[in-house]
Amino acid sequence: MKIIYSEKEKLHRPEHEWSYGKLLPYAEKNTRAEIIKKGIIKDGMKNILMEANEYPLDYLKAVINPEMVDFVKSCEELEPKESVFPHVFPYRDFTPEFTEHPRINLKKAGYYCFDVGIEIDKDTFEAAKASTDVALTGAGLIINKQEKIVFSLCRPPGHHAGYSFFGGYCIFNNAAVAAHQLSMHYGPVAILDVDFHHGNGTQDIFYEQPNVLYVSLHGDPSQFYPFFSGFDDEKGEKLGRGTNINIPLPSGIGDYEYRENLKYAVKQIKKFHPQALVISIGFDTFEKDPIGEFKLTTAFYKEIALIAGEVGVPILAVLEGGYDIADLQKNGKSFIMGLKELE
Ligand code: SP5
Ligand code: ZN
């Protein structure tokens, strides 16, 4: 087993987010991945840590709109203190003649960003790219058959970022970039998304793809972010029909109800016969999380790993959300202990 990280992930550190009309401290703290990494060192498991390799941008551009990747990269040219919240968005029937590229025009950042929750600055790209490299390094170890279980400590997270959009603290979809490589070089892939929120970006990227199954358990989008997707009638389209499974769950559920639904998800994944499993692991399902509204316990994260392990294929776990900083290290450790048992 290996755990992958990159020091560069910390570079993106917005101060604020707009949340339902209020300016709040940014919940997606830049130390999130590092906190889990420090726990591993503290527990004497330094030997399983590995720093990420760097990959060419082509790996991102295989599943992400190259113009969006270039837009985020162009923000590196901003002044040190300059940052912006996207705040004007293309509306539903925006003119099809819209051709002006929003590159380096942050007034038009809303062309790609779908919410007001992310502050973009000159360091955003480097950190987001590093986060994707952390996922790709993990996928590489599985593809080269060096490891069967890998946990990529990605940050910023990725599952709300799609082909041509980003938002929800996510810039590039780390899990999707990695799953694409696995599906090209290893075999059919299933993505199990256990973050509190629906991974609208991951769903978008693979919605018409038959070789990647997306299965997500999340807070019911009729109540919770991202509101506009994650309903159970979204099943995939064209060649990807049947390869998208959403399991919206009510507010307040605990380990017992979650376990039943997770077992159902794993049963569906087995029927797909994947060769590899990507887990989008969010700890915002935790009982004390300030954003998520489930009531999972620390001990349950070990069970998540063990239940997912029943698929019986190599696992790449990719960090998504989880905002209770005080308990993130022990929740991460619980999950890692489950992964270790699968080796
Ligand atoms: C990766 C991920 O978990 N993204 C989640 C994005 C959710 N953004 C909206 C959150 C609004 C919650 N506002 C904070 C409430 C503090 N009590
Ligand atoms: Zn989340």
Residue with CA closest to ligand 1 atom 6: 168
Q: Which atom of ligand 1 is nearest to the CA of 167?
A: 6
Q: Which two tokens stand for residue 144?
A: 């080269």
Could you tell me the pTM of the whole model?
0.97
- Asked if residue 203 lies in contact with residue 214, where contact means CB atoms within 8 angstroms, the answer is yes
* Residue 99, pLDDT score: 64
pLDDT bin (cut points 50, 70, 90) of residue 233 is: very high
Overall average pLDDT of the 338-342 stretch: 98
Question: CA 267 to CA 250: how far, in whole Å?
Answer: 21
- Asked if residue 206 lies in contact with residue 234, where contact means CB atoms within 8 angstroms, the answer is no
* Residue 97, pLDDT score: 62
Q: Which two tokens stand for residue 313?
A: 């294929």
**C-alpha distances out from residue 81 to 50, 69, 212, 221, Å:** 32, 22, 41, 35
- Asked if residue 249 lies in contact with residue 220, where contact means CB atoms within 8 angstroms, the answer is yes
Sequence-distant (≥ 6) Cβ neighbours of residue 145 within 8 angstroms: none
pLDDT bin (cut points 50, 70, 90) of residue 227 is: very high
- Return the amino acid letter for 34: E
Residue with CA closest to ligand 1 atom 5: 168
- In testing the pocket of ligand 1, which one of 12, 19, 320 has its CB within 8 Å of the most ligand atoms? 19
* Residue 296, pLDDT score: 99
Sequence-distant (≥ 6) Cβ neighbours of residue 309 within 8 angstroms: 315, 338, 339, 341, 342
Q: Which atom of ligand 1 is nearest to the CA of 321?
A: 3
- Asked if residue 186 lies in contact with residue 275, where contact means CB atoms within 8 angstroms, the answer is yes
Closest CA to 10 of 158, 132, 97, 124: 124
CA of 237 to the centre of ligand 2 (A): 25
CA of 291 to the centre of ligand 1 (A): 5
CA of 197 to the centre of ligand 1 (A): 9
Residue with CA closest to ligand 1 atom 1: 321
Residue with CA closest to ligand 1 atom 12: 291
% of the chain at pLDDT higher than 70: 98
- Asked if residue 213 lies in contact with residue 298, where contact means CB atoms within 8 angstroms, the answer is no
Residues with CB under 5 A from ligand 2 (ion): 195-197, 282, 284, 321
Question: CA 171 to CA 160: how far, in whole Å?
Answer: 8
* Residue 95, pLDDT score: 60
Give 14-71 pLDDT, tens digit per residue.
Answer: 999 999 999 999 999 999 999 999 999 999 999 999 999 999 999 999 999 999 999 9
CA of 41 to the centre of ligand 2 (A): 26
Residue with the two structure tokens 């077992």: 263
On the question of pLDDT at 264 being above 90, the answer is yes
Strands 16-19 vs 22-25: parallel, antiparallel or unpaired: antiparallel
Question: CA 78 to CA 82: how far, in whole Å?
Answer: 6
Overall average pLDDT of the 318-334 stretch: 98
Dihedral over Cα of 155, 158, 164, 167: its sign: negative
% of the chain at pLDDT higher than 90: 90
- Asked if residue 172 lies in contact with residue 161, where contact means CB atoms within 8 angstroms, the answer is yes
Q: Classify residue 96 as exposed, middle or buried by CB count within 10 Å of its CB (0-12, 13-18, 19+).
A: exposed
Q: Which residue has the higher pLDDT, 83 or 339?
A: 339
- Asked if residue 63 lies in contact with residue 177, where contact means CB atoms within 8 angstroms, the answer is yes
Q: How many CA atoms lie within 13 A of 156 on its CB side?
A: 30
Question: CA 255 to CA 245: how far, in whole Å?
Answer: 21
Per-residue HEC secondary structure of 85-123 comes to CCCCCCCCCCCCCCCCCCCCCHHHHHHCECCCCCCECCC
Q: What is the mean pLDDT of the chain?
A: 96
Dihedral over Cα of 109, 114, 119, 120: its sign: negative
* Binding pocket residue ranges, ligand 1, CB within 6 Å: 19, 24, 27, 117, 157, 160, 168-170, 195, 197, 225, 282, 284, 290-291, 320-321
* Residue 107, pLDDT score: 79
